[in-house]
Amino acid sequence: MKQLVSFSLLFLALFTACSSSSDNNPDAVTAGTWRVSHFSERGNDETGDFSGYTFTFAGNGSASAVKQGVSKSGSWSLNSTSTRFSIDFGPKTDANKPLGELTDDWMVISLTDREIKLTDDNASSAEFLTFTKN
């Protein structure tokens, strides 16, 4: 019986540690503006490509990326379990770089009031994206 109680307490402690109230807060996405603080693909750090961009994710599913007064419209969505974050700023073409690189269905690593950490749902691309609140 003592082992069962110990196991139950350990499970509860681990569960509580992994499910912080600030994690996976979908309302945090639409509050304020964001910047790309990390973007890498296959181990290549391409964060600098997004320098100067400010991102806004509106509650109606629209998104915008603004750099030096020039705005590009897009869209975004977060599934009901906060595990998939979809972004669409147009095709991944040379003419649409760097914003087209964000167009994808991302898996949510973590989502807090200050940071959104994502990874590509296609593991072979080895892409990682982090937005940080401005």
**Architecture of 24-133 per CATH?**
Beta Barrel (2.40)
Give the tokens for residue 16.
Answer: 């509580």
**Predicted structure pTM score:** 0.81
Tens digits of per-residue pLDDT, 44-55?
999 999 999 999
Tens digits of per-residue pLDDT, 67-118?
999 999 999 999 999 899 999 999 999 999 999 999 999 999 999 999 999 9
Give the tokens for residue 61.
Answer: 């599913």
23 band by pLDDT with thresholds 50, 70 and 90: low
Element of type H or E holding 38: strand 34-41
Short-list 131, 109, 112, 111, CA closest to 120: 109
Q: What integer pLDDT is reported at residue 66 of this predicted model?
A: 98
Domain residue limits, the chain:
24-133
Q: What is the mean pLDDT of residues 9-29?
A: 49
Q: What integer pLDDT is reported at residue 26 of this predicted model?
A: 74
Measured from the Cβ of residue 114, the count of other Cβ atoms closer than 10 Å reads 11
**β strands within 42-114, DSSP E:** 44-45, 54-57, 62-67, 70-78, 84-88, 104-111
Alpha-carbon Rg for the chain, nearest whole angstrom, is 18
24 band by pLDDT with thresholds 50, 70 and 90: low
Q: What integer pLDDT is reported at residue 49 of this predicted model?
A: 97
